Amino acid sequence: MMNPSEIDTLVAISRIIPVITIERLQDAVPLARALVAGGVRLLEVTLRTEAGLAGAARIIAEVPEAVVGIGTVLTPDDLARAVGIGVRFALSPGATPALLEAAARCGIPFLPGIATASELMAAMSHGFQTFKFFPATAAGGIPALQALAGPFPAARFCPTGSIGAHNAAEWLARPNVVAVGGSWLTPAAEVRDGKWPAITARCAESVRDLSGSIPLPA
């Protein structure tokens, strides 16, 4: 099981985590470079496409400034493949007992996905303290997160799901939120058209608007 300080080290790099879906392998490196140039170094590359894992591996090899994690981890095999390419962290949208057991042994920071108190308790029983709250808005939004803070004061969260520039600051202001994830930094149309300067500019604006003004949770 990881030390909680490993999560703290990651979120100190960035409290904004872009959720990246790579459709074409050739987009992986220029996209990562555009994000890094805008001040966003902590990247979640999802396993939603066939190019996801290979794209993450290419970013790790060619963009050393990026801190690459794998998202949409659904099975122990997904997690093993992610660890095998050298990712720095991993996340899941939910968690089965088998995945929680594998993640507790995997040696890298892992954020299991939860949406309910029962799911949170199951993940905590495996030693986890920081979680992906997904789907954040559909699962009850900020009121749900506030409600979880009562019986679970030590739990911390990275909400993902319908979070964007319009509400990221509100989420980050919550004392039990360490970071937010979202796809608003990498619109699919801009990635398809190779509009890397636009992505860099959006990242820089988000970093400027969200970083520094909102303290890290205690």
Say if residue 115 is exposed, middle or buried (CB neighbours under 10 Å; 0-12, 13-18, 19+).
Answer: buried
Q: CA-to-CA distance for 218 and 54, rounded, in angstroms? A: 36
Q: CA-to-CA distance for 172 and 152, rounded, in angstroms? A: 18
* Catalytic positions, written as ranges: 44, 132
